[in-house]
Amino acid sequence: MSGNQTGRVALVTGANRGIGEAIARRLSAEGAIVAITHTREESAAQAAELAAELGAAEGRALALRLDCADPGAVVATVDRVAETFGRFDILVSNAPVGDQSHVDDVGVDLLDRAMAVNIRAPFVGAQAAARHMKEGGRIISIGTTNAVRVPRQNRSVYATTKSALVGMTKAMAHDWGDRGITVNLVNPGPTQTQMLGDYDSPRVQLMLTFCAIKKLAMPKDIAGLVEFVAREEAWFITGAVMAVDGGYTA
């Protein structure tokens, strides 16, 4: 790695596994100080282990528990990271609520929680982060290609909430452009994660039929683009919606 993020401070939500973990590892490998969050008590040990690998003992990593459905906790977490490390440069809003319910079975409680985690948390997190950022700040959300293409059933909640990130990204890019803060959205396609499930399942195999490249991405493939967009040299990329999807939305 070439140290593209040396001296910069990043917060990655939902980073104890999967895409979030890969992003945290990539940013750390490029020199960033990385704070990661996890949601449940049972994932605390996993998050602490990752933070230890990323250099918590040297003050280069921090693991925090965060329920992204609580907007006050989201803001407090951003503020704590800024206060702990003395600056705040990169926010990666990754923590998702996924759902496989048919639209007929979606209750208000489920919809409200998905909206709280998938759109309200990135929104208030971005507001809080921008208050600490100087020129060169980077706000990046992790969405889904289902925001653009939904060729199968049982994705109404996920697609609805994640598609809102498109408008959020474009509008915030204009609001903060004069401050040199960029706002971008990365939409992964089918990716080998615990959330996706068994590679050989009929559901996953069906998803691959829609891809030009008949393989699943690995989390590190998503992390590579996120880290590039977080670099200082990516200053002219903002308001962009970028797919890493093997042609799923082509």
The alpha carbon dihedral of 184, 187, 193, 194 has a sign of positive
At 164 the three-state DSSP class reads helix
In this structure, the number of other CB atoms found within 10 A of the CB of residue 149 comes to: 17
| From 158, 176, 210, 248, active-site residue | 158
Report the distance separating Cα 24 and Cα 5, nearest Å.
Answer: 12
Q: How far is CA 105 from CA 111, 119, 180, in A?
A: 11, 21, 44
Cα first-last separation, the chain: 31
Nearest to 214 by CA among 248, 188, 249, 242: 248
Q: Is 248 a catalytic residue?
A: no
Q: Catalytic site residues?
A: 158
